[in-house]
């Protein structure tokens, strides 16, 4: 017998959130504005104990209070997954294989899976949703992704923001959008899961390029040209890798996400790039940041995927050579200048 979903019985929707960083914390804050119960998995027992006692995350978005009637923290992932309707993945992509290594297909059977991750699985150069389908057999029609211009720090301050929920299953995208819409968040469904997921990954690399050029002393004029060219680069890539009619790349789920990451003071990817432009090595930039810049891993994956397609992607190529081939940033941006219009 098919189980009646909780929202149809007017019961709280039970949602597992996997990951203890700033985005997981922000998503939990948003969801608890609605009729949901959250089962929150974090990797450190000390964090779980802290949240049970003080009702906020000890390390990320520490000012965001969490409703103890709606949020329960878990250290064992199996316990967090029990009885939930949705599983939200919010661990940085590079750590997903390790975080989920003890799970089987059964843990996801019948559950809807949402990726809040804007990164690629590095070893396999795969989108997170493709990887979830391959490893755990989750049908793509049971998955959606969260995209759009939205920094966790602004969610914590309840600043009006917009999200885009992508799924080939538009009913699912609508259902999850309803769960994510509240006083300060408007979530909108789109049928283009792969387009928004790839765009969210690539815009992180572009934000790194913006940070690099800023660190090198280039100004706003140059950055505006680079961001415009980046949008065309994203379009060329998507038109080859996942063509779709009616994809509006100028909407906030694509262009908006690129703009906020390229320009925001909160962007980890831009901050990381800025350090590289100022002369930090990759290792020292990683040590300096206590958060994860997905673009570092993603640029290698996109570069490798594009070896099969040969799309013209000069910004991606430059960032790849700077981060992985120790190319001199100033010399590399000098080469890039010749491609920009
Ligand atoms: N922050 C934002 O505004 C947004 C983030 N996203 C996406 O959300 C995803 C999660 O990022 P976010 O929450 O920001 O991450 P943060 O940078 O805020 O935190 C890093 C997280 O990664 C965990 N981590 C670090 N190293 C490891 C490891 N070796 N194994 C397992 N976990 C590890 C940390 O756990 P610990 O603290 O225990 O070290 C922490 O939970 C990313 O894909 C990001 O692109 C998407 C939209 C907005
Ligand atoms: O995707 C984001 C905002 O939409 C977050 O970007 P950063 O990871 O660069 O902070």
Q: Which helix (H) or strand (E) covers residue 211, if one does?
A: helix 193-216
| pLDDT tens digits along 295-316 | 999 999 999 999 999 999 999 9
CA of 22 to the centre of ligand 1 (A): 7
Which residue from 266, 273, 290 has its CB within 8 A of the most atoms of ligand 2, so it is best to mutate?
266
* Partners of 127 in the β-ladder: 120
Q: What is the pTM of this model?
A: 0.96
Ligand nearest to the Cα of 119, by number: 1
| ipTM surpasses cut 0.90 | yes
10 Å CB burial of residue 53 (0-12, 13-18, 19+) is: exposed
325: its two tokens: 């081939």
**Distance between CA atoms of residues 299 and 60, nearest Å:** 25
CB 211 within 8 A of CB 271: yes
- Sorted by where each begins, the domain ranges of the chain are 6-191, 195-337
Ligand nearest to the Cα of 265, by number: 2
- Contact residues for 38 (Cβ-Cβ < 8 A; gap 6+): 15, 16, 17, 28, 31, 32, 70, 71, 72
For residue 324, CA distances in Å to 222, 282, 319 come to 24, 9, 8
Residue 37 phi, psi (nearest 5):
-120, 130
- Contact residues for 319 (Cβ-Cβ < 8 A; gap 6+): 205, 208, 209, 212, 273, 295, 299
Residue with the smallest CA separation from ligand 1 atom 26 is 95
pLDDT given at position 222: 97
CB 182 within 8 A of CB 191: no
Is the CB–ligand 2 distance for residue 261 below 6 Å? yes
Q: Determine whether domain 6-191 maps to CATH 3.40.309.10.
A: no
How close are the terminal C-alpha atoms of the chain, in Å?
59
pLDDT given at position 1: 47
CB 325 within 8 A of CB 299: no
10 Å CB burial of residue 158 (0-12, 13-18, 19+) is: middle
**Distance between CA atoms of residues 273 and 262, nearest Å:** 10
**Into which CATH architecture does domain 195-337 fall?**
Orthogonal Bundle (1.10)
Q: Which residues of the chain have pLDDT under 70?
A: 1-10
Catalytic residues: 203
Is 268 annotated as a binding-site member? Answer: yes
Phi-psi category of 242—alpha, beta or left, where left has phi over 0 and alpha has psi -120 to 50? Answer: beta
Is 269 annotated as a binding-site member? Answer: yes
Which residue from 92, 132, 161, 272 has its CB within 8 A of the most atoms of ligand 1, so it is best to mutate?
92
CA of 335 to the centre of ligand 1 (A): 33
CA of 179 to the centre of ligand 2 (A): 21
Is 112 annotated as a binding-site member? Answer: no
Residue from 279, 200, 185 nearest 238 by CA? 200
Write out residues with Cβ below 6 Å of ligand 1.
Answer: 19-24, 43-44, 59-60, 90-93, 95, 98-99, 116-119, 150-152, 291-292, 294
Is 218 annotated as a binding-site member? Answer: no
pLDDT given at position 291: 86
Radius of gyration of the chain (CA): 20
| pLDDT tens digits along 91-142 | 999 999 999 999 999 999 999 999 999 999 999 999 999 999 999 999 999 9
């Amino acid at each position: 017998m098919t189980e009646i979903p909780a929202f149809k019985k007017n019961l709280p929707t039970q949602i597992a959130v996997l990951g203890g960083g700033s985005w997981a914390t922000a998503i939990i804050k948003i969801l608890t504005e609605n009729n949901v119960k959250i089962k929150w998995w974090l990797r450190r027992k000390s964090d779980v104990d802290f949240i049970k006692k003080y009702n906020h995350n000890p390390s990320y978005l520490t000012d965001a209070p969490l409703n103890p009637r709606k949020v329960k923290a878990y250290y064992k992932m199996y316990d967090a997954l029990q009885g939930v309707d949705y599983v939200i993945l919010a661990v940085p992509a590079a750590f997903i294989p390790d975080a989920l290594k003890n799970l089987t297909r059964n843990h996801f059977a019948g559950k809807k899976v949402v990726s809040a991750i804007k990164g690629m699985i590095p070893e396999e150069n795969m989108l997170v949703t493709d990887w979830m389908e391959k490893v755990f057999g989750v049908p793509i029609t049971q998955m959606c992704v969260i995209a759009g211009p939205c920094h966790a720090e602004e969610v914590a301050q309840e600043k009006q923001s917009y999200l885009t929920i992508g799924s080939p299953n538009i009913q699912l995208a609508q259902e999850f959008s309803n769960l994510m819409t509240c006083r300060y968040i408007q979530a909108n469904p789109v049928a283009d899961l792969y387009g928004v997921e790839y765009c969210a990954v690539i815009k992180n690399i572009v934000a790194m390029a913006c940070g690099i050029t800023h660190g090198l002393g280039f100004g706003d004029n140059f950055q505006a040209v680079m961001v415009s060219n980046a949008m065309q680069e994203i379009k060329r890539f998507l038109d080859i890798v996942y063509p779709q009619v009616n994809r509006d790349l100028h909407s906030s789920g694509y262009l908006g996400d690129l703009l906020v990451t390229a320009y925001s003071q909160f962007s980890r990817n831009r901050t990381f790039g800025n350090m590289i432009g100022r002369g930090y090595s990759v290792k020292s930039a990683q040590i300096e940041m206590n958060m994860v810049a997905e673009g570092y891993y993603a640029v290698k994956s996109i570069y490798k995927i594009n070896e099969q397609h040969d799309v013209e992607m000069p910004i991606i190529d430059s960032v790849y050579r700077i981060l992985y081939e120790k190319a001199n940033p100033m010399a590399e941006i000098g080469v890039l200048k010749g491609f920009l219009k």
